[in-house]
Amino acid sequence: MPQAMQSACTDRDRRQLSDYGVNQDLAPSRAVVVSNSVVTPIKLRWAIHASIAAALFVVPYEYWLTTPVLQFVSIGRWRLLAILVAAACGAALSLLRVSTPALSCGAMAGFMIGGTLATLKAPNDVAISLYGAFASHLESFWREILVLTTAATLAALCCDYLRKRRVNVRLR
């Protein structure tokens, strides 16, 4: 019965179209389903870029937190070095055409993961859970995470702007 109703509808629709002078061959007899296949690769690419950015920021941040260099360098200089490294990583990822939102989210995730790993590796008197390590690091270093993420994002935005400006100058 449903197929008969469907054919009746299409016959009625075809008759109405022919009354208006529309070619029946051009009128679709079925509903056309539009695939969102273009959207899926974009989302997948964004997730891959964010994962690459997170992986890139985990290692230097964990190393920055665990290296005993503060015996030789002041805290201010050590923070300045971290900002410069974060900016350099952001600029490099921008030159590799990683999108700025993916870079920013990946940097934030990388700093959080790196800090959690550094907290787990630190010597503790009591065993610490993964959540405890995450909360402890976030409680102590949330400002540094924001500053380093901002530095990486600003460097990426600047490099992206300069790269696009250079392309526009060449086109003129």
DSSP secondary structure, the chain, as one string: -HHHHHHHHHHHHHHHHHHTT--TTTS-SSPPPPP-TTHHHHHHHHHHHHHHHHHHHHHHHHHHHH-GGGGTS-HHHHHHHHHHHHHHHHHHHHHTT--HHHHHHHHHHHHHHHHHHHHHHS--SS---HHHHHHHHHHHHHHHHHHHHHHHHHHHHHHHHHHHHHHHHHH-
- Count of all residues that appear for the chain in the document: 172
Query: Does the pLDDT of residue 39 top 80, yes or no?
Result: no
Q: Answer yes or no: do 116 and 49 share one domain.
A: yes
Interacting residues of 27 by C-beta distance below 8 A, sequence separation 6+: 13, 14, 17
The domain tally of the chain equals 2
Q: Answer yes or no: do 29 and 45 share one domain.
A: no
Cβ atoms within 10 Å of 92's Cβ, excluding its own = 15
Q: Answer yes or no: do 96 and 160 share one domain.
A: yes
Q: Answer yes or no: do 97 and 117 share one domain.
A: yes
Q: Answer yes or no: do 46 and 84 share one domain.
A: yes
Q: Answer yes or no: do 17 and 91 share one domain.
A: no
Query: Does the pLDDT of residue 19 top 70, yes or no?
Result: no
Q: Answer yes or no: do 108 and 166 share one domain.
A: yes
Q: Answer yes or no: do 74 and 156 share one domain.
A: yes
> pLDDT at position 33, please?
46
> pLDDT at position 63, please?
84
Q: Answer yes or no: do 9 and 85 share one domain.
A: no
pLDDT digits (tens, 9 = 90+) for 22-38: 454 554 555 544 445 45
Q: How far apart are the first and last CA of the chain?
A: 65
> pLDDT at position 34, please?
47
What CA–CA distance (Å, rounded) separates 58 from 143?
A: 17
- The answer to whether 61 touches 109, Cβ cutoff 8 Å, is no
Residue 149 structural domain: 37-171
**Residue owning tokens 């296949």:** 37
Give the closest residue to 111 by CA, choosing from 82, 76, 149, 154: 149
pLDDT digits (tens, 9 = 90+) for 104-133: 999 999 999 999 998 888 777 778 888 988
**Taking residues 49-70, what's their average pLDDT?**
87
Q: Answer yes or no: do 125 and 145 share one domain.
A: yes
